Chains A and B, each alone.
Chain A
Amino acid sequence: MDQAIAALSFKGVGKTYRRSHLGRTYLSRGVEGLDLDIARGEAFGLLGLNGSGKTTTFKLALGLLRPTMGEVSTLGLPPFSPQALSRVGFLPELPYFYPFLTPEESLIFYGRLSGLDPAGLKRRVAEALELVGLSSHSRRRIAELSKGTVQRLGLAQAVIHDPELIILDEPVSGLDPLAIRDFRDMLQRLSDRGKTLVISSHSISELEKLCHRVGILKDGRLARLLTQQDWRSAPGGLEDLFVETVK
């Protein structure tokens, strides 16, 4: 693994959405002029108001969207390449699963899609269920699970193949305080194991506790890049710095 290659790299990246309706084309900006390098092993937070471009940034990193301009690379590779995607885990905001499967079946399905060999798959499924505390729910149908439990399963599917880079879009959205603390502990353990975490969240205090650096997006542009030192030395912490930037 070449540590010199960034886990995620955006160089002058822009994404404009085109939507056509009744013969008219409407353009809207997702991100613009995004220059950002995220180092391997780093826990990086993305903050921004709704519509600021956080999800667009993640989708560009995963090859779900193509940039209108600029260049994106994921682990030094084109983001849509199978070689890059096999080393990336993704937890979308409010993950959706096939309701007819159980958590265990879902993890087997996603593990196989990630290229895990059948011999190691069973062990990885058990480990992932253990990590997120879902071992006792492994054979219930997903349709019967609570939102917090589904979110835990979301994290389990993101780490089932032991990826180097884990992208989490609003991982604690809608969770109760106890679940949030559990989630933070799980993410901290992953970070301690050297995984690169890229997290977007509206929960500033969570990013403050977990991240080494935080980027603030405003209207699709990276308005500010902050280090732990910046928010620890600021009287109002990260929250005041965020409000000051987006106002």
Chain B
Amino acid sequence: MKGFIKKDLAIARSNIKMLAVLFVLYTIIGLLGSMDISFMLPFISVMVIISTFNCDALNNWEAYAATLPDGRRNSVKSKYLVTLLIVFASTILSIILSFVIAYVNSQDLNIGTTLLSMIITSLCTLLFECFMFPLIYKYGVEKARIGIFIIIFGIIVIGGFLIQFINLSSLDRILLAIKDYGLIIFITIVGILLYLSYRISLKFQMKKDL
């Protein structure tokens, strides 16, 4: 398992140059005072993780991994752990960047709001990956990309349609009631979805002819 994590991190390492350029770019934009877009970093981390899938596909790694001890299981497990690791690291980096930009520009920074926005961005990133990974394991990276767009589009369309039938005042009441627990609820939901996503991906990978 550790070996699989090392392998994915070694591949991700090759994207460091690109990430460093983006990091510098965001810092400059932030320092110029136009806007703080450091919250983008967790989103960018998705690209790094997807690039490891691309590399794997290019070299038929999944088939090779299946010849290693417990290779199928560990290759899936490591992808989820590396994802958590990279999203966590990019969140920390975003927070630091926000503080640095605010300090250099002598801006007042609301620590609570900044942390909250970064955490929510990271959770949204993980949420996206919850849906993306099982699709990748089932259909491959290319088809999964199309699949995820269809899912997002579907959610927007269906959500837009259903909102007509929802009593907004009762929704307001619910949101108000859970206001203080919103973040905990969101973290719990993402955690559960991440676990379910892992189980589904694992099921696909364990059964698949590679």
Chains A and B bind each other: no
Please give the residue numbers on chain A whose beta carbons come within 8 Å of chain B beta carbons, in ascending order: none
Please give the residue numbers on chain B whose beta carbons come within 8 Å of chain A beta carbons, in ascending order: none
